[in-house]
Amino acid sequence: MPGPVRSAASCSLQRVPAPINLRSDTQTLPTPAMLQAIATADLGDDTYDEDPTVQRLEAMAAARMGMAAALLVPSGHMGNLIALMVHAKPGDEVVLDRDSHIAYYEAGSMASLAGLMPIPLLSVAGRLDPDEVAGAVRERDLHYATPRLLCLENTHNRSGGRVVPLTHHAALCEVARAKGLAVHLDGARIFNAAIAQGCEVADYTRGVDSVMFCLSKGLSCPLGSLLVGSATFIAEADRVRRRLGGGMRQAGIIAAAGIVALDSMVDRLAEDHARARRLAHGLASVDGLAIDLEAVETNMVMVDHSALPWTTHELLARWAAVGVLGSARAPRHIRLVTHRHHDDDVIDDAVSRIAGA
């Protein structure tokens, strides 16, 4: 009798070492302390404002950002979308980076759901030029859409986790003020930015009207983001969250992990930054790969593979075959992101696997 059929895929899978997952810090799993906090959290119906754990997290988040109030939302995307919808109304203009997460990755929701007109600008290393921002804002005129909002992003994802320095950030906020625009900061990784700058997150929020930050990235929570701003902004944000179907019930199970994250997971992000530098230095000596070491400021490494004969997706498949997972930034780059599941040995292992791919 023939034995059980084994597919070619399952045979080759057995030869692949356990993958080193460098696709994103969104891949992090909750810590044991988070799971414990989730299991023992005080819960209530947050739609009735009766979840004490959500309220505690929102108060902590507001205090940490130096702002008046905060709102727990399921995702960073929803937090950004709510901010857009509170700051601006359909037909209004939003000045933002063409490569920002809001413009590039949020499935066109700023147009399809918020009804906003993007005024996309190019940034360099994640930095918009304050003069270009000023120039993009037209005077108020009956014939024009109304310019309403400037969106910033820090750290800047598509440039490879680049940090917009505080002085530059402040200059952009000042231009927005002078032009009568509100400022929303997509701070999905704002703690990474503050650590890299050696400042407090509140230094970055001083000039902005709202900030969104994610619990679910390097901070390791399974989900959840916070939208933070003034009390009136957050009251309206609460209504818009509801409009989008984002009202939650016993959301304390999310908030419990978030409290652990804010209490104990922020400072360790510096380790992820050190490992990104270690990874970058290791990969810089691999034939065919080019890395701008100066550009490795936080937990991301952009690997330029243009000297190799493969497309980004072909190269990613070769790396996957030796057990290294990254993200495509086609046509020339692969993005690798470090997080708490990687220690120095894992990073060194990733470098040698890639060198042999």
Write out the two tokens for 249: 């019930």
**Cα torsion at 226, 230, 231, 232 (round to 10°)?**
-110
Helix (H) or strand (E) holding 322: none
How many whole angstroms separate alpha carbon 201 and alpha carbon 305?
Answer: 34
Tell me, by CB under 6 A, how many residues bind ligand TLP.
14
Shortest-Cβ-distance residue relative to ligand TLP: 76
Q: If binding is defined by CB under 6 A, does position 225 make contact with ligand TLP?
A: yes
Write out the two tokens for 318: 């070769």
Q: If binding is defined by CB under 6 A, does position 76 make contact with ligand TLP?
A: yes
Q: Which residue has the tokens 């414990």?
A: 36
Closer by beta carbon to ligand TLP, 153 or else 272: 153
Among 47, 52, 56, 75, indicate the residue that binds ligand TLP (CB under 6 A).
75
Closer by beta carbon to ligand TLP, 77 or else 340: 77
Residue 149: φ, ψ to 5°: -145, 145
Distance of CA 177 to the CA centre of its chain: 25
The region of 75-83, 112-120, 256-264, 315-323 touching ligand TLP under the rule CB under 6 A is: 75-83
Among 105, 115, 264, 353, indicate the residue that binds ligand TLP (CB under 6 A).
105
Among 51, 58, 93, 186, indicate the residue that binds ligand TLP (CB under 6 A).
186
Q: If binding is defined by CB under 6 A, does position 26 make contact with ligand TLP?
A: yes
Q: If binding is defined by CB under 6 A, does position 24 make contact with ligand TLP?
A: yes
Residue 74, SS3? Answer: coil
The region of 31-39, 44-52, 73-81, 129-137 touching ligand TLP under the rule CB under 6 A is: 73-81
Closer by beta carbon to ligand TLP, 137 or else 251: 251
Q: Which residue has the tokens 């330029």?
A: 304
Terminal Cα-to-Cα distance of the chain (whole angstroms):
39
Over its C-alpha atoms, the chain yields an Rg (Å, rounded) of 22
Window 137 to 166, contacts with ligand TLP (CB under 6 A):
153, 157
How many whole angstroms separate alpha carbon 162 and alpha carbon 202?
Answer: 19
CB of 225 to ligand TLP, least distance (A): 6
How many whole angstroms separate alpha carbon 298 and alpha carbon 271?
Answer: 10
**Cβ atoms within 10 Å of 244's Cβ, excluding its own:** 15
Q: If binding is defined by CB under 6 A, does position 339 make contact with ligand TLP?
A: no
Residue ranges in contact with ligand TLP by CB under 6 A? 24, 26, 75-77, 101, 105, 153, 157, 186, 188, 214, 216, 225
